[in-house]
Structure 1
Amino acid sequence: MKLKNLVFLLSLMLFGCTVGQKSEPIRTGTYFDLVELLDEQIAKFEAEKPVLTKELNVSGETDRVTIQLDSAKQWKEELGLFYQADINKLGLETSYTTEELSTGVNTKKVIDSAKNERPAVRSIEYNYTDDQLVSIRIIIRDKNPIYKFEKELNLYFQNEQGKSILSSFTISGDQNMILKDELSYSLKATIGK
């Protein structure tokens, strides 16, 4: 009994400080740092307090709302799917190939593509004009015997004083589950003064 209590006390001392807290995943830095980019944008939004206008369409029904977010936590929740699409997580460092393509005069795209079907994030495409980031497109697919879903996430940037500033984002997708109707949805969000 004493040994059991000692083990419990020792584990409480070692892990007790993190109980109830969500730990950050280990990140590798192998690919473009989407999390760092989002954190920089959120820091700017937290200081400037822009409004966020969202238009959500679910299976043909549309709802529109304008809100002002007060904290970095609220912004992270709004951009949660983009954070989840981070491919710099431990274990994914060899899962993608990166290629750079010229798409015209002063424009290019960099694409991280999954090498196999295992990662849900199939590809991330970064579009640049004059070496300035103008958009990011993320394709996510996952399926198993019970469900199948596909999402497309987009971030759009404006050039402000030589910096790419997030101005809008979209999320769209389709979801199929056994014994349920197919669900189609799209979200358009604009960040403004």
Structure 2
Amino acid sequence: MCCWKNNRCSIFLSLLMLAALLTGCESGREGSAFYPVDSLVSAQIRTLAAVKAVLHKEATLGGQTDKSVYTPKDTTAWTDELDVFRQLHEINKPVNRDIYIVDDGLYDPSSNLTVKAFTATEPLPVMSMRIYYDNSIKKPRKIEAVYAEANSLYQSSKTLLMEFQQINNKTVLTSYTIEGGQKMIMRDSVTFSVRGKIQID
């Protein structure tokens, strides 16, 4: 007897199709992300290397300050400067999705920009992240976040800030700041900061 004429077979096929549909929806949900930080950083690295941007950098570690002005020669050099911001991609892990409170459409009176905020309700590496934008979140003006790490050897927390401008209708990083501190077992805490201003001719 043909399977399509068999009532049990029809029910089985219907359930199989429904399960496949639900699985597809679930996979799509897991693949979605809060914000493509990794892609944004990669795009900035390529852009800044291509235009041969000049970096004005000031780094402070434990009270000692060093200043430099130079042109990172390629994408590898810019990756060394900006790779720390890729850590924020941790927010997009599917396992973390239900741990964040997401608020969009917030108004920031100091900048007149709209803010989308992510706040962790449990201890996570990315404790918070705020994206400031004007008309589209795809063209951010500023991203700030708090990133924390802890293990049996040390505790570390840092505030990360990236600021952007629209140059030739492209989102371009124009400055960044990394500030924080680290406490190692049996040692004093050390504070650090890195400030970079990017010059594009």
* Residue pair 1:106, 1:130 contacting (<8 A) in 2 also: no
For 1:45, the equivalent position in structure 2 comes to 48
Query: Considering only CA atoms, is the larger Rg found in Structure 1 or Structure 2?
Result: 2
* Residue pair 2:45, 2:82 contacting (<8 A) in 1 also: no
> Which of the residues 67, 89, 93 maps onto 2:93?
89
Deviation at 1:136, TM superposition (A): 0.5
3-state DSSP of counterpart to 1:49 = coil
> Which of the residues 165, 186, 195 maps onto 1:188?
195
For 2:13, the equivalent position in structure 1 comes to none
CA distance in 2, matches of 1:59, 1:34: 29
CA distance in 2, matches of 1:92, 1:70: 37
* Residue pair 1:28, 1:88 contacting (<8 A) in 2 also: no
* Residue pair 2:182, 2:189 contacting (<8 A) in 1 also: yes
So what's the TM-score if we normalise by structure 2? 0.74
For 2:159, the equivalent position in structure 1 comes to 152
For 1:99, the equivalent position in structure 2 comes to 103
3-state DSSP of counterpart to 1:64 = strand
Deviation at 1:161, TM superposition (A): 3.7
Deviation at 1:90, TM superposition (A): 4.8
CA distance in 1, matches of 2:121, 2:179: 24
Deviation at 1:107, TM superposition (A): 2.0
Count residues with an aligned counterpart: 166
* 1:113 paired to 2:119: yes
> Which of the residues 128, 141, 151 maps onto 1:134?
141
* 1:167 paired to 2:170: no
CA distance in 1, matches of 2:112, 2:67: 37
* Residue pair 1:46, 1:71 contacting (<8 A) in 2 also: yes
3-state DSSP of counterpart to 1:37 = helix
Between stretches 153-162 and 143-152, larger displacement belongs to: 143-152
CA distance in 2, matches of 1:186, 1:140: 14
Structure 1 residues 31 and 49 mapped into 2: Cα distance closer, same or farther (>3 Å)? same
For 2:57, the equivalent position in structure 1 comes to 54
CA offsets per residue over residues 107-160 of structure 1, 9 Å max, x none?
A: 21111111211x211011101234452110010123345422210010011222
3-state DSSP of counterpart to 2:44 = helix
> Which one has a larger percent helix, Structure 1 or Structure 2?
2
Task: List 4+ stretches of structure 1 deviating above 6 A.
Answer: none
* 1:34 paired to 2:40: no
CA distance in 1, matches of 2:198, 2:31: 30
For 1:122, the equivalent position in structure 2 comes to 127
RMSD in angstroms over aligned alpha carbons? Answer: 2.1
CA distance in 2, matches of 1:76, 1:172: 19
> Which of the residues 176, 180, 184 maps onto 2:183?
176
Gaps in structure 2 of 5+ consecutive residues: 1-29
3-state DSSP of counterpart to 2:141 = strand
Between stretches 141-150 and 65-74, larger displacement belongs to: 141-150
For 2:69, the equivalent position in structure 1 comes to 66
For 1:77, the equivalent position in structure 2 comes to 80
* Residue pair 1:133, 1:164 contacting (<8 A) in 2 also: yes
Q: What is the identity percentage for the equivalent residue pairs of Structure 1 and Structure 2?
A: 28
